[in-house]
Amino acid sequence: MQRQVVLKNCGRINPRNIKSYVHEGGFAALQKARERMKPGDVIGEVAASGLLGRGGAGFPCGRKWELARNNPEEEKYVVCNADEGEVGTFKDRYILEHDPFTLIEALAIACYAVGAPKAFIYLRAEYRFLFPLVSGAIGQAGDRGFLKEMDIELREGAGAYICGEESALIHSIEGLRGESRYKPPFPVDGGLWGKPTVVNNVETLMNIPAIVANGSGWFREIGTEKSKGTKVFSVSGDVEKPGVYELELGSPLSELVAELAAARNVKMVQVGGATGRILPATMLDTPLAYEGVLGSGAVTVYDESRDVIDIMRRNTEFLAEESCGKCTPCRDGTEAMLEILERLAGGDGEENDIRILQELGRVMTASSLCGLGQAAAVPLLDTLEHFRREYETRIEQSLFLRSIPGFKA
């Protein structure tokens, strides 16, 4: 079911003028938090709401804030992850473009709750055009006195997918090379400059003012038992109505893909970007929820005209290009997968290719350093399960053609 919690101000307020946001009740939640709630009460409310991270990993937001709050270090930071480098994801861009003020209010509430005087918004390089809009909104909030005893700084990325991963993002803000690092320590213990740092996705934060204003009970009414609230999706690919949609968590994938985005002759859907799951058309009743499929909210639809092997080749090419190269399983594993997929796509498959791809996938998942390598094989393994016959046929064709004397691929 469509329901607007995160996007409720998009199209209603003027993103360039704070007055229209205040007119719609903006900053009332921040005022309530600061005047009528202790930091621990705010965290308690966020924890009770059941809000889980919307950036892909689904970590409980209140728990993250609590861990940072309880850390005895005095210097703490809050970071808004607006890197959005995930393939097919453009919902955070839409949010920032249409409602930067809710995000600023959320960051101010987060800083108050966690005890951090400084927040960063890490904006991907390709969203440079949003820099004036967002910094203008921060300036207006500051001028109106909403950012007292705190400061929000905008930082621009340099265009790397891996910099959306929280430890690589932290390195990037520190001016270091954008590479992930071993965890623990997690950012709440040792984040920016080794200090406790809360990293939250744009959409996660967008829920905060409404939770503080309406209470956790209101939020818990929306969604399923394990997945509270709504989710914003970016839908693209073979659909008549691509765009940004917000649905109650637990809604079936078919509602988003077939009803709202008007997809026809669906062959498969990738949910969650380049490392996201692949579902065949027979699984469109899967719920969009943490207990179903979700990821970052990128939904890419492929119709019957698409070649699964070629889609996986392109997907893996992206991952191999974007692997930071720090750990061997991801760096060499994505290259090895790509080599096989390029051969398969070019009609030069070998008998053992499927087995090797599956083994590679298992090793990468088990031994890579961060989420990129750990999930890089997910879509490929899904297609090997649901579209295995297409791989087998391609290999059989290659073997047959090579058996013809004098034939060259």
Ligand X SMILES: Cc1cc2nc3c(=O)[nH]c(=O)nc-3n(C[C@H](O)[C@H](O)[C@H](O)COP(=O)(O)O)c2cc1C
- Residues that bind ligand X in the complex, under the rule CB under 6 A: 53-57, 59, 81, 83-86, 161-162, 164-166, 199-201, 204, 370-372
Tell me the three-class secondary structure of 140-156, residue by residue.
HHHHCCCCCCCEEEEEE
Q: Are 270 and 379 in contact (CB under 8 A)?
A: yes
* Least distance to ligand X, CB of residue 394, Å: 29
| Burial classification of residue 406, based on how many CB atoms lie within 10 Å of its CB (0-12 exposed, 13-18 middle, 19 or more buried) | exposed
* Least distance to ligand X, CB of residue 290, Å: 11
* Least distance to ligand X, CB of residue 208, Å: 10
Residue with smaller CB distance to ligand X, 18 or 110? 110
Q: Are 72 and 120 in contact (CB under 8 A)?
A: no
* Least distance to ligand X, CB of residue 137, Å: 19
* Least distance to ligand X, CB of residue 262, Å: 27
Residue with smaller CB distance to ligand X, 140 or 200? 200
* Least distance to ligand X, CB of residue 45, Å: 17
Q: How far, CA to CA in Å, does 151 sit from each of 2, 15, 19, 145?
A: 35, 20, 20, 11
* Least distance to ligand X, CB of residue 199, Å: 5
Cα separation, 181 vs 42, whole angstroms: 31
Residue with smaller CB distance to ligand X, 200 or 398? 200
What's the gap between Cα 3 and its chain centre? 20
Provide the 3-class DSSP secondary structure of residue 77: strand
Query: Residue 314, by phi and psi: left (phi above 0), alpha (psi -120 to 50) or beta?
Result: alpha
* Least distance to ligand X, CB of residue 138, Å: 19
Residue with smaller CB distance to ligand X, 63 or 306? 63
Residue with smaller CB distance to ligand X, 18 or 205? 205
Residue with smaller CB distance to ligand X, 53 or 100? 53
Q: Are 226 and 290 in contact (CB under 8 A)?
A: yes
How many Cβ atoms from other residues are within 10 Å of residue 359's Cβ?
11
Provide the 3-class DSSP secondary structure of residue 18: helix
Q: Where are the beta strands (DSSP E) in 9-57?
A: none
Residue with smaller CB distance to ligand X, 53 or 191? 53
* Least distance to ligand X, CB of residue 332, Å: 17
Residue with smaller CB distance to ligand X, 308 or 337? 337
Q: Where are the beta strands (DSSP E) in 157-229?
A: 197-201
In one letter, which amino acid is 371? G
Residue with smaller CB distance to ligand X, 105 or 238? 105
Q: Are 296 and 55 in contact (CB under 8 A)?
A: yes
* Least distance to ligand X, CB of residue 293, Å: 16
Residue with smaller CB distance to ligand X, 284 or 337? 337
* Least distance to ligand X, CB of residue 303, Å: 27
The sheet with strand 77-82 has its strands ordered as 151-156, 118-123, 77-82, 197-201
Residue with smaller CB distance to ligand X, 247 or 344? 247
Q: Are 62 and 48 in contact (CB under 8 A)?
A: yes
Q: How far, CA to CA in Å, does 75 sit from each of 42, 72, 198, 359?
A: 20, 9, 12, 45
Cα separation, 361 vs 400, whole angstroms: 27
